Amino acid sequence: MIRILLIRHGSTDTVGRVVYGRMPGVHLSEQGRRQAEAAGQAIRRRYQLHQVISSPMERAQETAGLIARPQNLSVSIDEAFNELDVGQWTGKTIEDLQSSPSWKQYNQLRSLYAPPGGERLIDVQQRSWNALDRMIREQREGTVAIVTHGDVIRSLLLLFLGAPLDHILRLEVGTGSVSEVNFDDGQPLVRTINEQFW
């Protein structure tokens, strides 16, 4: 059996207010660092990690480092777990987008629509699942922590639960949270969602 811990990066100063997508230079806030440290300590008490993988975004790498440190592990970067590319919405505030028809359309039908110039959620789900599936086939046992982003985690959880992507906003995946999925003979078992340790 292989255990996958899907970990959302810790909080930033603009989380919930700005659609920053892949905008560079977004770092963990003090609260985000506390969340990541608490998650790292809680994971160390429960599991022996075999690998820590991170999205290339700074906030994810910083979180991954705080997850890996208590177990003296290095962090590997995998583009497959990168944030959703939000295209022309990068850096815009959620308040500014509220009146946009494309914003409303996107949030009602995530399975069909992408941000202008951005990436469809189904493509995020496919790229992250392809990487995860390859890892499961190669490793087959152990515990792997993957530090990534809210939409990446929610899209994978919906896949494992057999639920449509349009239900993505029905899943809470808070900053610094851990969701556990076990794979036995390739079959996913979702053990926990949005577990928080602070």
Marked catalytic residue, from 37, 62, 83, 119: 83
Query: In the chain, what percentage of residues exceed pLDDT 70?
Result: 100
Digit-coded pLDDT (tens) for 58-70 = 999 999 999 999 9
* Rounded average pLDDT over 142-168: 97
Task: Based on the residue annotation, tell me whether 9 is a catalytic residue of this protein.
Answer: yes
Domain ranges of the chain: 2-173
198 — pLDDT class (breaks 50, 70, 90): confident
pLDDT value of position 21: 95
- The pLDDT of residue 139 is above 90: no
Relative to beta strand 2-8, strand 178-184 is: antiparallel
Full-model pTM: 0.96
* Rounded average pLDDT over 33-43: 98
Rounded CA-CA distance 124/129 in Å is 8
- Give the total residue count for the chain: 198
Digit-coded pLDDT (tens) for 77-136 = 999 999 999 999 999 999 999 999 999 999 999 999 999 999 999 999 999 999 999 999
Helix-then-strand count for the chain, H and E: 6, 8
CATH architecture, range 2-173: 3-Layer(aba) Sandwich (3.40)
Marked catalytic residue, from 9, 62, 119, 149: 9
- The pLDDT of residue 74 is above 90: yes
- The pLDDT of residue 146 is above 90: yes
